[in-house]
Amino acid sequence: MADLRERHGPSTSGLAVARAAADQLSPAERDELRDYLIATTDVTNLDVSESAQRLVRSRAAELEADPSVGLTVTEAMRRIRARLA
C-alpha cells in the first residue's frame, strides 16, 4: 500500500488506496478478499428498515419452502455483474 500511496500521493484516502490495490488482484485473490470482508464485517448494528426485514423474511420463507428457487453464489454474482455492466 505504501507503493500505491507514493504513486497516488500522500493525501489519497485509505479506501482509494485499497480499491487501487484490489484492482491489481487476480480473480481468485479478489474472491478471497470478498470472503474475508464478508466474514469480518460487523453487521450487528445495521439499520434495516422494517419493510426490508419483511422482504428478507418473505424471501427466506420462499427459499425454505422451495430450495430450487435459490441461486448459487456464482450465478448470483453473474447476474449482479450483468446488471452493473
Task: Looking at the structure, tell me whether residues 53 and 34 fall in a common domain.
Answer: no
For the stretch 12-53, pLDDT in tens is 688 888 999 999 999 999 999 999 999 999 888 888 999 999
Rounded Cα–Cα distance for residues 8 and 2 (Å): 10
pLDDT for the residue numbered 31: 92
CA atoms within 13 A on the CB side of 76: 5
Task: Looking at the structure, tell me whether residues 32 and 56 fall in a common domain.
Answer: no
Task: Looking at the structure, tell me whether residues 31 and 52 fall in a common domain.
Answer: no
Rounded Cα–Cα distance for residues 1 and 7 (Å): 10
Task: Looking at the structure, tell me whether residues 29 and 65 fall in a common domain.
Answer: no
Task: Looking at the structure, tell me whether residues 54 and 84 fall in a common domain.
Answer: yes
What residues make up the domain containing 78? 47-85
For the chain, what is the domain count? 2
pLDDT for the residue numbered 9: 58
Share of the chain above pLDDT 70, in %: 86
Task: Looking at the structure, tell me whether residues 1 and 36 fall in a common domain.
Answer: yes
